[in-house]
Structure 1
């Protein structure tokens, strides 16, 4: 998958989120002088998505605060920003992108930054009013419009979006019920041990958390959602329902074009090159070979969308850059702030240091040999660099020392 130097051939970027906008930005910063077209399905300039379930929902940030660049910036940097336009198909041989508005966009290099919208709900959902998802700023505005003192919100899914929205809704005075099929929230990314800490946090803040329960249907009254029917016969009465059952990478264009797929996304090398010459994938959809972890990694995290575009831009310009950053994500819920670094797939146990009950602790995911696969700091803000170094070291660490606050983490790195 060798990428020739196309320093002046046009670049087409599909995807109007953070990854697409940052790719355009880095191309110009790194000296690309050719035409850049950014194809964005939404009718607003690209923005970051994490605030939708955090500060925007809480009312502490407005859209301009997390818009990557205003429309004037694209004009000033000679970037053709196509808002409200969708890419319909790719012609890799002819080097064009067909648009839903008619016509096509030529490219020498193509960057797929299509993100991961919510999947279809796993339960029958009508077009009843009051059923929400959270992907766009318009989705967030609609949800905010039904949250207020004494309103009732039912959330299907105890993942990151579901829990962040639950926290934001409680902050607006809403009564919140979260229904999660697993025995703990966040069991998939964090495991049951740390998931239990988040369950306790939400219950302490008044959330009715129903674990190990499946939703059989959304109840509808006069064309409007009225709550949930659960598999144990219980009902949840609500004024609005949020379906937050994860995200699904938008890879239909890549699949139709015959690009190699892996891990639910588009397969790339460590330089984010796909199986087709001159075509790159970035952000949520990129299932990239990781030069440090030694495995293919695909994560739907803000950090990838922020940092991978610099590598893509360098390689479009003929470089041989690799994306070697550790996977990173964060969350803010009530008075809990957390950062996570690494990739815990295949862990055999998790150990903690600090006060888990008081939500001021570190957690480490270890494999059978004691290698730290991932680490997390909860309300402790001076340990992030050391956690990252432990993960990057890829060497066995004494678990007892990890749990002992008397042992400096720095002593365990070398």
Structure 2
């Protein structure tokens, strides 16, 4: 019995060449789940341009079955969270995973196809990193250890950078899975670490400065000043400082037990009120607030949501989807006060005990949690103009415009969306991860533009919603399926074009939607309304398109 990272695998130690099937049964441009060892394990097999590719069938992110995803030209994309992997190498290309899929060689003999498997079948493969060269005097500083900073640090070493890396974080822990904080109020930081701390020292050979605050970044002098007074010189700097949750400035806002949720310490504080019978008011009815409401309700907390919107998710998903989700929450016992404004917080002995609305109604509360948006953390950057929302404008290479050697990633970046050219922000985990990758490559002068379709996911009460595209402004929404039953696809359109898609209960459409938007394969609004196109026809169109792309042109 051999123990792997996450499962125990029992294998015949003499078995290393496994038959996958007759060669003629596999079709060009298709992928297959091949069960092996009596169905206990499986691999993913695909055939493109006459070449067979065999990789692990469990996503390196959350273990989702890769055969339910989308086969691209030279890559495969997971249907859960859009993690994308190279079929030739197994390397993670995009999405929330830095680890790759195991890649297995194939062999043809007597009309049969075989896979050459290792004695222990791994679940994922750690990237290969170049060693630090003490003779390389370049210094790259990364400020922020969230998804953007974390992915940039690994990418630098993957792509061949041998100079010094300094990773600065104001937190006490190595990078961790921040999206878990609003979905799990019993989480322990050790269970959500993206990498152990020794990984950064041993594998990336970088200087990891925890619990360190940055006072300023001076692009003119290429220096970073720490709150301690120390000055660090850099050749290039990546700022990935994320954002700060917004709060209300009303009477009583300084009372105790009024929280935001941004880091593990915030989660730990909120955990004290995540118990049977506690009364918690959540201000805001978008993703953070609704995820928290779901997580707390399942723990027996009496949750009340106050929002100035007419429906939950009104600005992001529209009123029809918002009302359907509101019904789900109300069925679970969550109470809503919508289209409401807060007059003040009431308290006793310094602790909040109620929230008073502008109509005089008071909602009792043992704790209050904000979920009303964020503001980019860019105050440390000096002598560079910021946009009205506090973000930094970058070019397609994630470099701050009108600056030298300053790159950014994540919430603080306003980047040119490659589909429209407009400057947008995407405050989501996948976007920050991918921007960190791109920024790192361009810090090395590789000149790779950022050209990804924004994607995010959320979940409440065991139901997931996924969103591909960008639709801050749209003309119409066309629906497929049953919105009231939370089994639907919603096509957001502008000028007859589908610019974004939201979907629930149809996980297999996740990677299809992103691919269709990116490759201009979406139908028009009229075609959707006249039932001339639907998710099935879009899926076929994407598959046909991919089969026409030459695999040799894909990096």
Q: Aligned to 2:154, which of 12, 16, 25? A: 25
Q: Which residue of 2 aligns with 1:13?
A: 142
Q: Aligned to 1:364, which of 478, 487, 491? A: 491
Please give the secondary structure, in 2, of the residue aligned with 1:383: helix
Higher helix residue share: 1
State how far apart, in whole Å, the 2-side matches of 1:286 and 1:268 are: 7
> Residues 117-136 of structure 1 correspond to what in structure 2 (within 5 A)?
117-136=244-263
State how far apart, in whole Å, the 1-side matches of 2:315 and 2:197 are: 38
Normalization by structure 2: what TM-score?
Answer: 0.70
Please give the secondary structure, in 1, of the residue aligned with 2:207: strand
* 1:318-375 superposed Cα distances (whole Å, 9 cap, x missing partner): 111011110111001002101100001221011111111111111110113x101100
Q: CA deviation at 1:201?
A: 1.6
Please give the secondary structure, in 2, of the residue aligned with 1:303: helix
- Matched residues, number: 403
* 1:376-404 superposed Cα distances (whole Å, 9 cap, x missing partner): 12121111122113322446511225697
- Report which structure shows greater RCO (CA 8 Å, sep ≥6): 1
Normalization by structure 1: what TM-score?
Answer: 0.92
Q: Which residue of 2 aligns with 1:248?
A: 375
Please give the secondary structure, in 2, of the residue aligned with 1:389: helix
State how far apart, in whole Å, the 2-side matches of 1:389 and 1:169 are: 35
Please give the secondary structure, in 2, of the residue aligned with 1:196: helix
Please give the secondary structure, in 2, of the residue aligned with 1:21: helix
Q: Which residue of 2 aligns with 1:105?
A: 232
Q: Which residue of 1 aligns with 2:393?
A: 267
Correspondence 1:160 to 2:287? yes
> Residues 47-58 of structure 1 correspond to what in structure 2 (within 5 A)?
47-54=176-183, 56-57=184-185
> Residues 103-252 of structure 1 correspond to what in structure 2 (within 5 A)?
103-252=230-379
Q: CA deviation at 1:272?
A: 0.3
> Residues 375-386 of structure 1 correspond to what in structure 2 (within 5 A)?
375-386=501-512
State how far apart, in whole Å, the 2-side matches of 1:374 and 1:27 are: 32
Q: Which residue of 2 aligns with 1:62?
A: 188
Correspondence 1:45 to 2:174? yes
Q: Which residue of 1 aligns with 2:163?
A: 34
Q: CA deviation at 1:145?
A: 1.1
Q: Which residue of 1 aligns with 2:438?
A: 311
Q: CA deviation at 1:125?
A: 3.9
Query: Structure 1, unaligned stretches of length 5 or more?
Result: 1-6
Query: Structure 2, unaligned stretches of length 5 or more?
Result: 1-135, 546-555
State how far apart, in whole Å, the 2-side matches of 1:334 and 1:247 are: 25
State how far apart, in whole Å, the 2-side matches of 1:406 and 1:192 are: 22
State how far apart, in whole Å, the 2-side matches of 1:230 and 1:237 are: 11
State how far apart, in whole Å, the 2-side matches of 1:22 and 1:402 are: 42
Q: Which residue of 2 aligns with 1:3?
A: none
Over aligned residue pairs, what C-alpha RMSD do you find? Answer: 1.9
* 1:92-128 superposed Cα distances (whole Å, 9 cap, x missing partner): 1221100001211111001010101112324334432
Q: CA deviation at 1:72?
A: 0.7
Alpha-carbon contact 1:260-1:274 (below 8 Å) kept: no
> Residues 385-396 of structure 1 correspond to what in structure 2 (within 5 A)?
385-394=511-520
**Structure 1 residues 238 and 340, CA, compared in 2 at 3 Å: closer, same or farther?**
same
Alpha-carbon contact 1:376-1:387 (below 8 Å) kept: no
Greater CA deviation, 383-392 or 136-145? 383-392
Q: CA deviation at 1:220?
A: 0.5
Please give the secondary structure, in 2, of the residue aligned with 1:313: helix
Alpha-carbon contact 2:148-2:240 (below 8 Å) kept: yes
Q: Which residue of 1 aligns with 2:119?
A: none
| Higher Cα radius of gyration | 2
Greater CA deviation, 188-197 or 37-46? 188-197
State how far apart, in whole Å, the 2-side matches of 1:278 and 1:399 are: 46
Alpha-carbon contact 1:259-1:274 (below 8 Å) kept: no
